[in-house]
Structure 1
Amino acid sequence: MSSTATQPGSQLSDALARDRLGVAAIVFFMMSAAAPLTVVAGVVPTGLAVTGLTGIAIAFLAVALVLAIFSVGYVAMARHIANAGAFYAYIAQGLGKPVGVGASWVALLSYNMFQVASYGGFGAIAQPLFVDWFGVDVPWYVLALVAWALVAILGVRDVAVNGKVLATLLVAEIALTLVFAFAEIGSDGFTASTAALDPGTLIGAGSGALLVMAVTGFVGFEQSVVFSEESRDPRRTVPRATYIAIALIAVVYAFASWAMISAAGENVVQRAGEEGPELFFNLAAVQLGDAALHMGHILFLTSLIAAMISFHNIIARYMFSLGREGVLPRTFGRTVPGTGAPKNGSLAQSAVGLAVIVVYAIAGWDPLVQLFFWGGTGGGLGVLILVTLTSFAVIGYFARHPQGEDVLHRVIAPVVGAVLLLVMTYLAFDNIAGLLGVEPGSTPAIVVPASFIVLLVLGSLWALYLKSSRPQVYSGIGLGARSATTTGGFSAALNNDAAGTGYNDESGYRR
């Protein structure tokens, strides 16, 4: 397609690099965003302390089941649409272009919340560790800026380079998580917990908060389709990567959380409140010693770095997709020839991250609670909204384009998944105060959920403005590389199809 070519005299291209990522690389991106060690050592103890419920292990398995059902229709739709905008493109084609643009604004806020939250968590957690290790009290924001610089540099490099970095960090992270879990099983105080796997904990007071915390642990699973344009044979790569990531995340989370709860015993809730992230490490250190404890802390920090890299890549590709179609300034829809990196989107995200770090440093705000905890929780709520909207978009899309998919993929699984996700979204809004650790009716409890609703409405209104003032841009919303606003995009795609050498006019995949 002509839209994939670099224009003469230009230093930028309007296409992502193709055939760069296999199943393993995409799984690394997805699971790095999920940050397994951060979830097991951070989210699980927080969930125990906030809700007082010990059924987090069964909550992870229940959420995995719901997301697996959702993914049946999700990856089926991916066989027809290849777009780095993912949720944005799917919602635009399934529920209408205005809702799709509104969803893109929600996505940008959600993933930026995760991204900047990671900077705050890294700085706040690394600061006391540097005092312990080196006797140097480095301000949290200095440490956060070091991590920010690393992520900014990698963000403009070849996506394959980022994949290799994530692979190294993720393998070490998962290996240590499992080693620690087995060490806890071998500890003297271990007693196999049935409460951690009791389905009854998913019903009743606090269960909504428990389920939403479990959902937060899976954020990143949905991003397989973000890399569809850069993957090898996306018709097979995307579904395999999605199911593998969900299964691995569920097994690691459920097993490690069950081991931790079982090793801590009956006073696990109290210990979770007192020790926080240290609970997982302290229980394993009894068996493995202080050296293992230090290694756990190091990989806890690299887990956050891996999440930063993954979310940075996701955000840059969302901005690329929106810029390519003219929904955002078109400068964001350009990539670096050779590497295919969405440079301008990457630089913009780096600027946002830098601004947040500087503002928090100057204002003296708490980077752990007011940035890491609130940002991560708010981002999780936003992603849950997006997943729920996408589940209905899948139903809408296949109602108009049933060809090529059986009734399971286009009706049964999407409908079941949509109903289950709608219930979970309701529980999330109903438990938002508990999730944030604030009083019901307080400013954070109102502002966080309201911000997503406001952005959804404003984005939809922007799309309607484009419809009246820039109809060519509006007509290309959600079409990705086929957008009429890209260089020769739509007409070139049709010409290539006529020659039998281009892309399928639904998916963008090569024949």
Structure 2
Amino acid sequence: MSSTATQPPGSQLSDALARDRLGVPAIVFFMMSAAAPLTVVAGVVPTGLAVTGLTGIAIAFLAVALVLAIFSVGYVAMARHIANAGAFYAYISQGLGKPVGVGASWVALLSYNMFQVASYGGFGAIAQPLFLDWFGVDVQWWILALAAWALVAVLGVRDVAVNGKVLATLLVAEIALTVIFAIANMTMDGFTPSADALDPGTLVGAGSGALLVMAVTGFVGFEQSVVFSEESRDPRRTVPRATYVAIALIAVTYAFASWAMISAAGDNVVQRAGEEGPELFFNLAAVQLGDTALHMGHILFLTSLIAASISFHNIIARYMFSLGREGVLPRAFGRTVPGTGAPKNGSLAQSAVGLVVIVLFAVMGWDPLVELFFWGGSGGGLGVLLLVTLTSFAVIGYFARNKVGEDVLHRVIAPVVSSVILLVMSYLAVDNIAKLLGVEPGSTPAIVVPSAFAVLFVAGVIWALYLRSARPQTYSGIGLGARSATTGGGGFSAALNENTEYNR
């Protein structure tokens, strides 16, 4: 099938994403690569232990997986009726109203860009001492970050199937090593299974909000099944299967590996996590597996960050494509690469953002590990949690108006249950933002991160209201994706004549 579609004159959809390119395995690879299993187990888990002092991260992963599985019941049901690369944006627009949807889309762009640029900072900062150890060459972190950036930029405008093959190769090796290291931890002398790591009581104690957000951060990417719905084969079946498979695999991998690491480290695991950081996971396994395995772990840790960068780049490019296609952003973002169907200008824009951030951090001398990787990833996790919560309520709103062949479990019960739980989790996350970032309450990062999401959300709502009054045809197409009736000028460009031609 052709990667582009012929559009009627005046149709706002000048290009289409490539169709029928992705099956369940490919989408699962995209989803799990964004989740970056080795990065989470070796990076997020020790950080969570050091920052919160709570050892219940394994049970937190399982609890979050259960909540996301309940959320996905309504989420994938809605996907059977809406195929849109904008995912959260499209669903919120059709469930809670177009202004809320546009506000959410701007929050989504910030959240995913935070993850994307954070991965560059993490790659550069972690690779620098490794290159010195391996090759005796002290390469500046930003040079290494730019190398990763260049690779992701090139792949971003290639066929989505090519990206999927790259991610599949990296992900299989990454998961295999994570499991092998976890098993090695279990074979250590004096290994004692940890009950604290699976203690449900840690989910309601002090700092539980920070612990839950860290767990949510590990699942970011599970929602990608819907982002790729327009490019998947038989999305009514592919999307649900990929979603549930990814959630289950992520939960089992994280819970098992983190439990094994905490058990192997023993009673002083929090202290060791603070002192050793990401090296804790590798150091424990190296006792049994030797230095060769340690080096292999470091290599795959770096490729895990690259895989996450590729995956987040694809999400952001498709969000921008969706917004450009509908005129919420300039229409140039709604164009694709001939022959590959990749969202060209959305990809290039994201590459530009990544380049600017890397250069800015290099020039200002800011810490790429703490101020970019850690704060960026944590802040992005909070943003995605807020988006998932809004989307859960949007599912309720959509099915309240559209009883379209779904039973009461998919339309009402699961969405209501997940909405209540996610609302509580969001409150705890915002309330624990300082602990999550490892800063003092009331400090600049603790204020700026949630405030940035609030400001962007309000700005997006105001922009949507402007479109409603000044460009009603553009406004009418918000959230409709390939069915958008919008024509003419883009959201930020001068208004052109708009007609009523629909591309259905």
Residue-by-residue CA offset, 1:406-435 (whole Å, 9 max, x unaligned): 000000000000000000000000000001
Residue-by-residue CA offset, 1:101-138 (whole Å, 9 max, x unaligned): 00000000000000000000000000000000000000
**Partner Cα distance (2:124, 2:500) in 1:** 46
**Partner Cα distance (1:6, 1:173) in 2:** 42
Pair 1:486–1:339, CA change in 2 (3 A): farther
| Contact 1:110/1:378 (<8 A) preserved | yes
Pair 1:97–1:283, CA change in 2 (3 A): same
2:212 aligns with 211
**Partner Cα distance (2:265, 2:304) in 1:** 24
| Contact 2:85/2:228 (<8 A) preserved | yes
**Partner Cα distance (1:208, 1:466) in 2:** 37
**Partner Cα distance (1:365, 1:231) in 2:** 41
Superposition pairs for residues 5-404 of structure 1, below 5 Å?
5=6, 14-404=15-405
Residue-by-residue CA offset, 1:350-402 (whole Å, 9 max, x unaligned): 00000000010000000000000000000000000100000000000000001
| Contact 2:217/2:381 (<8 A) preserved | yes
**1:424 and 2:425 matched:** yes
**Partner Cα distance (1:88, 1:490) in 2:** 23
2:491 aligns with none
**Partner Cα distance (1:443, 1:303) in 2:** 30
**Partner Cα distance (1:259, 1:114) in 2:** 27
Worse overlay, 209-218 or 81-90: 209-218
Pair 1:484–1:255, CA change in 2 (3 A): same
Q: What's the TM-score once normalised by structure 1's chain length?
A: 0.94
Residue-by-residue CA offset, 1:442-487 (whole Å, 9 max, x unaligned): 1110110011011111000000000111111000000000001259
Residue-by-residue CA offset, 1:242-281 (whole Å, 9 max, x unaligned): 0000000000000000000111111111111110100000
- CA drift at 1:222: 1.0
Q: Which letter does structure 2 place at the counterpart of 1:363?
A: M
1:498 aligns with none
Pair 1:378–1:2, CA change in 2 (3 A): closer
Runs of 5+ consecutive residues of structure 2 not aligned to the other structure: 489-497
| Contact 2:7/2:503 (<8 A) preserved | no
- CA drift at 1:403: 2.0
| Contact 1:483/1:489 (<8 A) preserved | no
1:468 aligns with 469
| Contact 1:2/1:489 (<8 A) preserved | no
**Partner Cα distance (1:191, 1:427) in 2:** 32
Q: Percent identity?
A: 87
2:416 aligns with 415
**Partner Cα distance (2:196, 2:304) in 1:** 28
**Partner Cα distance (1:227, 1:5) in 2:** 20
Pair 1:156–1:35, CA change in 2 (3 A): same
- CA drift at 1:189: 2.9
Worse overlay, 91-100 or 12-21: 12-21
Runs of 4+ in 1 over 3 A off after TM superposition: 486-494
**Partner Cα distance (1:493, 1:376) in 2:** 38
SS at match of 2:223: helix
SS at match of 1:221: coil
2:495 aligns with none
Q: What's the TM-score once normalised by structure 2's chain length?
A: 0.95
**Partner Cα distance (2:198, 2:350) in 1:** 40
Q: Which letter does structure 1 place at the counterpart of 2:69?
A: A
**Partner Cα distance (1:152, 1:485) in 2:** 30
Q: Which letter does structure 2 place at the counterpart of 1:274?
A: E
| Contact 2:3/2:341 (<8 A) preserved | no
| Contact 1:13/1:336 (<8 A) preserved | no
| Contact 1:324/1:480 (<8 A) preserved | yes
Pair 1:360–1:421, CA change in 2 (3 A): same
Pair 1:490–1:295, CA change in 2 (3 A): farther
Runs of 5+ consecutive residues of structure 1 not aligned to the other structure: 495-511
- CA drift at 1:4: 2.4
Q: Which letter does structure 2 place at the counterpart of 1:466?
A: L
1:451 aligns with 452
**Partner Cα distance (1:418, 1:88) in 2:** 17
2:492 aligns with none
